[in-house]
Every structure is written in structure tokens, then in C-alpha cells.
Structure 1
Amino acid sequence: MYIKKLTKLAACMLLIGGSALSASAQGFRDGKIWLNEDGSNYFKFTLVSQVWLRNTDLNPGSTINGYEKNNFTDIGIRRARFQAFGQIADRVFIYSQIGMNNFNYSSDRKAGFFIHDIMGEYEIVRKHLSMGAGLTAWNGLSRFSAPSVGSILGLDAPLFEQSTNDVTDQFLRKLSIYAKGKLGKLDYRVAMSSPMSPLKAAGYSSAVGQFATFSAKPAKMQVHGYFQWQFLDQEANTTAYTTGTYLGTKRVFNIGAGFQYQPDAMWRAGNNNDTIESNLQHFAVDAYYDAPINATTGTAISAYASYINFNWGKGYIRNQSTMNPATGNNKPEILNGSGNGYPSFGTGNLLYGQVGYKFKNNLIGKTTLMPYVSLQYAHYDRLRDNMAYWDGGVNWLLKGHTSKLTLAYQSRPVYQSDAVAPDAFKIDRKGSFVLQYQVFLN
């Protein structure tokens, strides 16, 4: 069934490409199907594959198929993506993406690809204002609220910047109407989104407790935006996705600020058993620098830092457990939950930074290395001890982002809920070794 679906998809894409070619007779150039003589109208396809080999020290009480385990090794497909997009007519742009995330031994089989993005866009004022609508990643808050996964500096983007990831959206994509463009060196995006029902989110409970959670009431519209001043080279804003690192091919320095707001998005129980509603309101500032150090040898640096004030309501905490290797937990007092989960999202303040250094070209034959390190440091209201999650590793750039091998270690804190007080305290740290191989046809 799955093979048949992929075969039909490939046949459809070939038919589309063949029809475009025969209609325009312009051919295939620069990785694009040219739809007119100068290539200003075009259509393009990309493919990304990211596969992980991982060994994880599991959170206390973690179980796999009912058996308690403290360490586990697995292989998984972190991401598989297929993009099809293009400027199909003057002022008219279309973008689509299908794929899957986090497919490992415990995933439903033959689940197949799902739609990540499908949107259409019209350029109202050349280069200055475009408007579009659909299921899209034109999000606000910060730079990596919509990261380009094929160009990530390390193993993963800072996923907490995708604040409602898979709770009221679809892996960060939202049902939105948006506007974007450039005004001189100012690059902007603003959007109004219709939040998806949290009742469809994994593990969601509509029970109203002492800590804020997403409300089950019909959602009000969410508004969000991100604005950045691009001091040096200008970055493309053809798609919503921002580059992780240019590997020294551009000289970029940006400072940005963004917001996210949804009225009455959250609820919790009051002292008199009443229900208290509160707004989701986040604010962020960030800075991004990516540039060659020595253009002749190819050395380069990439750096990013952000500050985010998250306000989800009293005591809100949500765990992040990427491609979780565990299937259960028999110790409910562990705040992290099962497997590799940790409290990544919460009401409070967060600092994040990442930096990488690219060695000279042809360091090892025709390949080179780019080590990196990142740190997520947060003071969340519900945690007695500040949360620090870090990872570090090295990219072996076999052919830039096209073929890349990454070895990294991730370290996370483990928290236990206090049996008396309404907070949690740190009891341990756990880690994971991850080896990723990426192939990116762009």
C-alpha cells in the first residue's frame, strides 16, 4: 500500500513536471523547471532525509512495551521531506511540502507521508508586500519558529521557539492568513491563525487543574509576527523557512523581535473551584550572525542567541521528547515523563545560544568539519531549579548540507514533582549519543 502511494505520488510529480516542460519548452536549469525564457517563472522540487542512530539513558521509571528500561539504542527517521514550489506566474507563488517525522520502532506502520504545508501567495507590491493563505509556516515569535531543516547548524533546531508545536498546530504549521515582505533592510512577517483543537493533541486532557493548560473551549484567533533588521547581506524570504547556517557563503547579521498572542487560550482552576482563563502571550528578541572568517580558506562562524518571555499562565510546563524511545513510565512523580522527555516549554524566561565553527575547506580530503555547541537555559515558574539543556557535537561536511554526518551528545535535567509543594526539583541528568546522516537534494 505504502509503495503504491509513493509510486502514484512520483508519477503525479513527473506528470506535472513533464506538462510544464512541454508547455513552456524552456527546460530544466539551475535545479528548476523554467516556465519562461528568463526563469523568473519556475517550479522546483527538493528532498531531505535525516536518519538517527541513537543511544539514550532513559528517564527514571521509563518502560518499553511494559518492561522497565534505563538505556536503549534505536534507529529512526527523524525527518523525511519532499517540497514542490515555484513562482508559477508573475506575482503568483505556490508552496507545498509533504513528509513524516519521528518514525522509529514504535511508530504506526505504513502511516505514510502527511501534508506539512500547502499555501498560495500573491505579490501585491513588488518585493515589499505579499499576502498568502493556507497551512503554512509563516509564523511569528523568532527566527527559528520556522527553521529550514536541511541547513540546521547541529542535530536539531531550538524546538521551543515553535511554541505551540503539535498542540494547536501541525508540527509548527498553522492555518493562517499572512503578510510578508521587505522594506529596505527590514524583513517582516505577520499572521493571523486559526488554532487547531488541542483535543487532537497527543496526551491532551481537558481536565481543569491548578496549573494552566490549553483550554478546550472554541479557540479565538491567534496573531503573531516577527521583524528583523538585516544589516549585511539580505536573506531571501521566498519561503517561510530560515537558514540555520550558510557555511560561510554569505555575510549575515540580523537583529529581530517577535510576538505571539491568543486571548483566552489557557485555563486553570481558581481557589473557589471556578475556571480562570488567561491569554497566551509570548515575546522574543534574537540576533543571528553567520559569516566567513577567511573567504580564501573557507573558515566560517555561525552564531545565534535569543531571549524569550513565555506566558502560558500559572505553572504551565510541557515536555519535549523528540522521537521518544520509550512507550511508558511507571513513576508519575517524574515530571519529565518517559524516555528522553524534559520540561522544554514553560511560563517564565528563557535564554538560548548556539555557535559553530567551520574549519577550512578540504580539511580531510575534499571534506571538512564544523563543531558546534548549544544551550537552552530557562527559569520557569514551576521549577525550583533552573532548567539547562545542552548539546554539542561535530558535523562532518562530506558535501556541505547535501551530505552531512553529525555526531552529538545531548544532556538534559530530570525533575521530580514535590509531593507537598506545587513545584518540581532537579534530581539528576541524563544524556543521549546521536549519530545523524543527512542527504539533502536542493
Structure 2
Amino acid sequence: MDSIPSPQYWPLHKLLILRIGLTALLLAGLAAATVYWVERQQLHRAAVELAQQRAAEFVAVAGDVLDAPGSETNGAVQARLDRFVRGRSMPRDGGLVAATIFDAGGVAVAHVEHPDYAGHADALTRLASQSVAAGRNARTDASPEQIDGARVYFLQVPLEKADRRALGRVAALYAPSAAYLAEFDRRLARAILFAFIAVLLTAAILYPVIQRLMRRVIELSASLRDANLEMLSVLGSAIAKRDADTDAHNYRVTLYSVCLAETVGVDLKTMQALIKGAFLHDVGKIGIPDHILLKPGKLDEEEYAQMKQHVAHGLDIVRRAAWLADAEAVVGGHHEKFDGGGYDGHHKAGEIPVVARIFAIADVFDALTSHRPYKAPLSFDASMEILSRDRGTHFDPQLLDAFAAIARPLHEALTTRGEDYSHRELQRVLTRYFRMDIETLLARVPS
């Protein structure tokens, strides 16, 4: 399998490693959360089952004294409770470290603490001071809490005789053992480690395949870009040749527009829309009859009305291709005027897209300085004078001022160095703004 050359494909490596790492973290987090949830449920069940079991055992040995009158004052329940817990060791996973017995009226009649349990004084005090309302004997309650950084469970378990008659209630504190908590931590760590290993092993197997597929996508994207740019150039040049017998006009207006856009600082997406629109600004002229399009004199009113239809024809053409859709702003707006007196007369100033305002300056300037069937070229100074007269009416004043600052050297270069120079400069522009390299492609991948 071909290796990916460096450093061109480093961003691809970076993306794959980042995505694999994030996936590993996600899966490890899910595994850890699952283990944690399962262990907590198991701990919850263990606490409840142990409390219910101990409550049943205590009722079996002390139910008679709980049911006897005066149990709250004679100490009989406390004595039975002391004998009940004597000699019992703490289960390995944890156990009831403190308990308070309440009679059926909710009065505390006995309390005990496990002799091996140290700490959690606040919790024990809270447990000893609890009171249980009468009538809350139907179910077992268990609520997890953090006390001094340790997880414990407060439980309330009904004390019932065999006939389901309530004798009272036990409030208990269940604490997992240190051994159980250590094993819990180990299981959690193993789950995270196994998730990482599984993801990394899977990635190691799939990485070359993903790498090759990504490389192929990049190559196909670059080929598609080149095909689209060729289509753009051919389509624009075809109509330019019909109008002026050369495609140099398209080259020049595109370069004028790009230089002005660079001067005022448009973003990449806007620049791409401007370039496409510059190439295709007059594509709708394909629908204009030759006797109007190539007429050497001034158009009459009816002919001018037909000529204006090239904007609608152009919009209809570019809207048929998704890749050309962003050329619509220039194609549809390059004959608008800053004061609202353009073709449709409905847009003015900032309502006209900036790409159309930029292109309008470049288009008129090149038309003035170029040969046309109906006119000879004007000098640079004469052309700029005409543009200046229309400052604020036809043209955006700020954009026109920016163009005036760069126009002379640009015009001299494009008119004295020939069409080959314009073509080379245009190719450089296309390479700069329509790259489909690895960075551009990967920038489109959602995070």
C-alpha cells in the first residue's frame, strides 16, 4: 500500500489521530459510566437487601418486645438489639454500621453502632437524631449520599410481623467496605483501559484503509475542482469570444476584480463567488441575437431592452449548477448602480452585493480601455475620469477610491505584457483561491 507523503498529508494524520483519540475517550467514558452505574445499582441493591434481611431477622428475635407496651422506655428493645449485633462481623462488601429502631409511633427505642466502624461522626449523629413519621411503613427507602468524601446509604426499612402488621421501622446507615471500594476503582480502571485498547487496536487495523480512502477522496476532489474550473473558463471564454473575439476581457476583468477585492479585504468565500461571477458575468449574452450583440452603433430602445435580458438569461444558466450558484450575485447585479438607477432599479448602495459593486468598476473600466465593435479604446486617464464622474451614482465611492489607488500599474501590466501574462496571473489566482489541498478538504470535515 502506498505510504502518504509528508508533510503534505500531516493534517490527515493529525485528523485521524485526533478522531481516534476522541473516540477512545468517548468509548472509555461510556464504559466507565456503564460500570459505575452497574456497580452503584449493585451497591444499592446490596444495601437494601442487607437491611431488609437484618430487619426480618431482628423482627424474628425481637418482635415480641417491639409489640409490647412500654418498649420505648423499658430498654427491652435496646437489650435485644445489643444481643442481636453481638459477634456479627462486617460483611466483606460493607454493611450496616449504625441503626436506630423506631416503634410504630415513630419514637426511637434503640440505637447501635458497629464497633469496627470508625469515622463519619456527622452521619452517625444525623442518623441517631432521625425521627420517622408514623404511617411510613409500606416501603423501603434508600438514599445515597456523600459524607466526608465517602459514599454511604441512609435506609429506612419497615419492621413487620408475618401478618404485615407494622411494628416500627429501622433507620440504618450502610457503608461499603474499603475492600469493596478498592475493587470498584479497579473495575472502573480496567473498563477504561480495555475500551482504549479495543479502540486503538481497531484503529490500527482500519487506519491504512481510512488513510487510503481519504487520500482518494482528496484526489477526486482535486480532479472535480479542476473540471469545474475548466468548465468555468470554457463557458466564460465562449461568450467572451462571441462578444469580443477574445477571452482576454474575462481574464482582465477577473484580475481587476480580484486585486480590488484583495485591497478591501474580502473573505475566501466571497472571493470565490467574485471570481466565478467575473468569468460568467455576461454568460446570458448567449441568448442575445448577433445583430444586437455585435451592433457597431448605439442600440435603440427596443434593442436595449433585449440586451438587458442577458442578465435574466445568465441567472437562469448559473442557477442550474450548484457549483455556479454563488456567481448569481455578480451575474445578476453587475449592471446595478449605486444610486439605484441600474437595470432593475430596485437595489442601491449596500443592497447591491459587494461582489457586484466590485465587479461593476472592473467591468466598466475594462470596457472603456478596450476595443469594442462600436468604439475604440480610451486612455487610462480618460477612463478613470469617466469613472470618477460616476462616483456615488454608478459606483460605490469607497470601492472606486480603492480601485483608483491600484489601477494604473495593474492596467499597464495587463495591457503591455499580453494575453499570456494575463492567463498566467489568472491561473495563479485560481490556484490560490480554489485550492483543494488537504487543509482545505479537512477544514470542511465537521468537528
TM range (shorter): under 0.3
Point out the structure with the larger strand share.
Answer: 1
TM-score by length of 2: 0.20
TM-score by length of 1: 0.21
Higher helix residue share: 2
Structure showing greater Rg: 2
